[in-house]
């Protein structure tokens, strides 16, 4: 096998993307420069190129950068393969069987999360399907809370929104993790009359075996 070729500029660009992703998705050029041991002009040139291609974007209110919308193409390419193979959908189906409520799978794209898949049981009252929609990561939704808190503490179990988004509807959300990396967040949404915190937690505990299968099957 021939010697592997390493292109330094591409390696640096990828390191910058990973750095932004792993550091709260809001990073200054100076911080990137210091932590990756690169001079400011090098970082600025790479960041400018990535920004022109849509892979990162500058915050309108501060000199900070986050991942851009073009990363969605990469995320969806990976996620589409998983969904086409039925793995995520199969997991959602099993989780839906436990909760008997509408279940969603989302991925993070820059400052938003994106609804990739959803399953609804045959119930009279159920949450609406939102496949293909974006939500702001700073939303007070349970899903938004998981994404934000995972940046701070990656052993988070779940979050709730209790009629915070929609009157009469409650939601529990929890991360799907593989090899310590966040794949996406699952949300389960249903009427508050039958979806109390206590019932959510009880059913979440029943899904742990299903969720742990990720480390084997995904």
DSSP structure class, residue 70 = T
| pLDDT the model gives residue 86 | 66
pLDDT band with cut points at 50, 70 and 90 for residue 105: very high
- Give residue 16's Cα distance to chain centre: 19
Decide which of 83 and 98 is more confident: 98
| pLDDT the model gives residue 216 | 44
CATH of domain 8-68: 1.10.10.10
Tokens 């086409």 belong to 84
**61, pLDDT greater than 90:** no
Cβ atoms of 117 and 88 closer than 8 Å = yes
DSSP 177-207: EETTEEEEEEEEEEETTT--HHHHHHHHHHH
C-alpha distances in Å from residue 3, one per residue of 6, 188, 201: 9, 49, 52
Q: pLDDT exceeding 70 applies to what percent of the chain? A: 84
Residues 205-216: what's their mean pLDDT?
72
pLDDT band with cut points at 50, 70 and 90 for residue 76: low
Average pLDDT, the chain: 84
* CATH 3.30.450.40 for domain 72-217: yes
DSSP 125-168: S-PPP-TT-EEETT-SSHHHHHHHHHHH-TT---EEEESSSSTT
Question: Tens digits of per-residue pLDDT, 120-138?
Answer: 887 655 556 677 788 888 8
Decide which of 214 and 12 is more confident: 12
Residues 184-195: what's their mean pLDDT?
93
**104, pLDDT greater than 90:** yes
Gyration radius of the chain's alpha carbons: 19
Residues 143-148: what's their mean pLDDT?
94
Decide which of 108 and 71 is more confident: 108
Domain boundaries, the chain: 8-68, 72-217
Return the closest-CA partner of residue 126 out of 156, 87, 169.
169
Residues 20-41: what's their mean pLDDT?
88
113-143 in b/e form (b: 16+ CB < 10 A) is: bbbbbbbbeeeeebbeebeeebbebebebbb
Residues 107-123: what's their mean pLDDT?
82
């Amino acid at each position: 096998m021939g010697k592997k070729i390493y292109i330094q500029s591409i390696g640096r660009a990828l390191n910058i993307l990973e750095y932004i992703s792993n550091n709260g998705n809001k990073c200054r050029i100076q911080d990137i420069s210091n932590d990756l041991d690169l001079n400011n002009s090098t970082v600025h040139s790479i960041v400018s190129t990535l920004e022109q291609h849509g892979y990162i974007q500058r915050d309108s209110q501060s000199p900070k950068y986050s991942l851009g919308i073009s990363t969605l193409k990469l995320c969806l390419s990976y996620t589409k393969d998983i969904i086409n193979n039925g793995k995520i959908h199969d997991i959602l189906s099993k989780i839906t069987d436990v909760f008997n409520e509408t279940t969603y799978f989302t991925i993070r794209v820059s400052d938003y999360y994106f609804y990739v898949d959803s399953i609804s049981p045959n119930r009279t009252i159920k949450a609406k399907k939102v496949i293909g929609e974006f939500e702001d990561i700073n939303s007070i939704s349970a899903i938004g809370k998981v994404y934000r808190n995972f940046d701070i503490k990656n052993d988070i179990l779940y979050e709730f929104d209790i009629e915070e988004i929609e009157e009469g509807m409650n939601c529990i959300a929890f991360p799907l993790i593989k090899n310590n990396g966040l794949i996406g967040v699952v949300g389960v949404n249903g009427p508050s009359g039958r979806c109390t915190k206590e019932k959510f937690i009880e059913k979440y505990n029943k899904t742990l075996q299903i969720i742990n299968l990720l480390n084997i099957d995904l």
